[in-house]
Chains A and B, each alone.
Chain A
Amino acid sequence: MTFANLKGPVILDIPADPPAMCIVRALVDTISARIGFEPAQADRLVLAVDEACTNVIRHAYKNKGDERIVVTFSIGAGSLVISVRDFGIGAAPETFRGRDLNDIRPGGLGTHFITSAVDRIEYDNPPGGGVLLKLTKFLPEEEKERN
């Protein structure tokens, strides 16, 4: 658990361009594994952050690849907090809703993947526009204490 003593967050600032998403995935995977999440949990977290960034590209930036996404990883106090910050069209939190899974059709699954991977989801509309999405996953030891 050496990551618990990191002096500050890990910050990734990348273009809002689909080919760059493999960089986000690799970093989420590395951090999740080092923290000690089970492989299945780590996979879900990778998928969740990937989907959050995909939503930003698609909805906040309307597929304009010259914009930026800033992903911040904060480890400590029993949790991993992954913040996804965009500077695009601010969306109301109530629009962040998954679809009925009984409805078999393409699309709309990303939100479901995000909500099922993390313990807490928070939104903010920070100064400067855009949305700050905060995904919190309790660390494995913290999870054990809760059970």
Chain B
Amino acid sequence: MNIKVDERKPGVFVVSLSGDLDMSSSPEVRNILLPIFRKKAFHVIVDLSNVPYMDSSGIATFVEALQLARKGEVRFSLAGACRKVESVFDLAYLKDIFEMAPDVDQLIVGEAERK
């Protein structure tokens, strides 16, 4: 699993994942993703466009992130999930819980910069 964190705009963090999100890689994703919510973030986006597979450990990581986001009033979004990954959210009845977009740019555009 390759993980890249990029602050695209002040307070807008994009976490790009590449590879299978499973029991093997989820702990690393969790360790990188969750501390971002404690930074001066107001929007955290996870780019899933290069994630071909996800299991329940991936879902658990994102549920944990969502809980932190709600607690810290941070916007949390998932972008670019392929059909296979999206179906796992569906199967868990969690698709409507997350803000999901076709790609990162769609979420970034229109995101006002905060001072």
Q: Which residues of A contact B (CB under 8 A)?
A: 18-19, 21-22, 25, 40, 43-44, 46-47, 50-51, 54, 57-58, 101, 104-107, 109-110, 112-113, 116
Are A106 and B55 in touch, CB under 8 angstroms? no
Could you tell me if B87 and A43 are in contact, using CB atoms closer than 8 angstroms?
A: yes
- B3 on interface, CB distance cutoff 8 Å: no
A22 to B67: give the CA distance in the assembly, Å: 29
> Which residues in A have their C-beta under 8 angstroms from that of B61?
106
**Tally of contact residues, B, Cβ under 8 A:** 22
Contact with A along B41-74 (1 / 0, CB 8 A): 0000000000001011101110110010000000
Q: Give bound CA distance, A112 to B23, whole Å.
A: 17
Complex-state Cα separation, A104 to B56, whole angstroms: 13
B49–chain A nearest beta-carbon distance, Å: 18
Whether the pair A22, B63 counts as a contact (CB closer than 8 A) is no
Would you list 25 pairs from A and B whose C-beta atoms are within 8 A, ordered by A residue?
A18-B22, A21-B24, A40-B87, A43-B87, A44-B91, A47-B88, A47-B91, A50-B55, A51-B56, A54-B22, A54-B55, A101-B93, A104-B97, A105-B67, A106-B59, A106-B60, A106-B61, A106-B63, A106-B64, A109-B56, A109-B59, A109-B92, A110-B56, A112-B92, A113-B91
